[in-house]
Amino acid sequence: MTLGLGIESTAHTFSASVVDDKGKIYANVKSIYRPPSGSGIHPREASRHHAEAAPSVLMSALKESNTDYKSLDFIAYSAGPGLGPCLRVGATVARFISAYYGIPLVPVHHGVGHIELGSMLTDANDPLVLLLSGGHTMVLAAVNERWRVFGETLDLTLGQLIDQFGRAIGLASPAGPAVERLAEKGTSYIDMPYVVKGNDLSFSGLLTSVKRKILSESQENLAFSLQETAFAMLSEVTERALALIHKKELLIVGGVAANARLQQMMKLVSNRHGCEIKSVPIEYAGDCGAQIAWTGMRYFKSGYTVQPQRAFVSQSWRIDEVKLPWRS
Ligand code: AMP
Ligand code: MG
């Protein structure tokens, strides 16, 4: 049996997970940095949180998995994209454990991590993927060993749009679940800018518009209209991609995948195209060590590891630059 540890630290979450090569997740321990209400992630404060949380998160992950460092075949860490100070905490911890115990090291792209974990957990084979998180809003499919982009945001991600609206009405980040609850109580749609360019999306006009209406409209109706507009834009580009490449599975991953209204709209889209919808279970939708551990496993099995002194982090690392030896 092959056993690997994954460390996630790109943004608000420090997490560690142990998985085996059958896809069994023994532990997925998380500690999440919460900024004060009304403010976003402060990179230095988040990295301080991660450095403080790291020892206990790692210890709990190993304890829950009934294992120790010496039994690990590899250590994977999220190498980017993300906030520099946060990435460096995870990479430093991983590099140290790797060098001290002589365990091979695997750098993992955070977005690839979301997709590979989602594919494994939902048994998706060759899906069209919606990667919807704090850092990404992309429509992707695997072609020639890479995730190719069939549509993406030109400015804000869906997560940023929702969090920045949340911040403007005084909610703590990440605001997704609270905005979703407000939206459920919305009763009337307020007209909002709907911007699709080619097969790409732009959310900045939508954010400006919703912020301007904070004093004149109810928070419930604003949250409802924001979600309806943004998700309809995403539905349009998803539908166009499906019509073009005829995938039979639609996999939704990333923190925003937890949104029930989004899932409902995507179900309608996939039904129209004879496509099966696959949503990652909520526990694994957001950032977590399991996404890194499992993707690390795929690299390790493909013979890809790096020396600790070659361990890198990259704050902006496009997903379509990443080679995936296990995907044709
Ligand atoms: P990730 O970067 O994958 O952890 O995703 C984090 C993003 O997902 C944040 O912007 C959250 O606000 C967002 N999010 C989490 N839960 C929900 C939800 N129920 N509805 C919409 N967005 C959500
Ligand atoms: Mg993420």
Picking from 275, 274, 255, 252, the residue whose alpha carbon sits closest to that of residue 263 is: 252
Q: What is the pLDDT of residues 146-181, one digit of tens each?
A: 999 999 999 999 999 999 999 999 998 889 999 999
Q: What is the pLDDT of residue 134?
A: 86
Q: What is the pLDDT of residues 67-109, one digit of tens each?
A: 999 999 999 999 999 999 999 999 999 999 999 999 999 999 9
Residue 188 resides in a domain:
yes
Structure tokens at 236: 């349009």
Residue 24: what are its φ and ψ, rounded to 5°?
Answer: -75, 130
Same domain, 139 and 251: yes
Ligand nearest to the CA of 132: 1
Kindly state the percentage of the chain with pLDDT values over 90: 91
Q: What is the pLDDT of residue 35?
A: 87
Residue 174: what are its φ and ψ, rounded to 5°?
Answer: -75, 135
Q: Rounded CA gap, 211 and 197, in Å?
A: 22
Residue 166 resides in a domain:
yes
Give yes or no for residue 282 having a pLDDT over 90. no
Q: What is the pLDDT of residue 152?
A: 98
E strands, the chain, where?
Answer: 3-8, 13-20, 25-32, 74-80, 105-109, 128-132, 137-143, 146-152, 196-197, 200-201, 249-253, 276-279
Residue 58 resides in a domain:
yes
Q: What is the pLDDT of residue 231?
A: 98
Same domain, 278 and 155: yes
Residue 327 resides in a domain:
no
Q: What is the pLDDT of residue 259?
A: 95
Q: What is the pLDDT of residues 22-71, one digit of tens each?
A: 999 999 999 999 988 777 789 999 999 999 999 999 999 999 999 999 99
Mutate to test the pocket of ligand 1, among 162, 292, 319 (most ligand atoms within 8 A of CB): 162
Mutate to test the pocket of ligand 1, among 167, 256, 280 (most ligand atoms within 8 A of CB): 256
Q: What is the pLDDT of residue 52?
A: 98
Structure tokens at 276: 């099966």
> Whole domain around residue 57: which residue ranges?
3-114+286-321
Residue 239 resides in a domain:
yes
**This prediction's pTM:** 0.94
Among all chains, which residue has been given the structure tokens 């001290």? 100
Q: What does the pLDDT average to over 106-122?
A: 97
Residue 121 resides in a domain:
no
Residue 250 Cα to chain centre, angstroms: 16
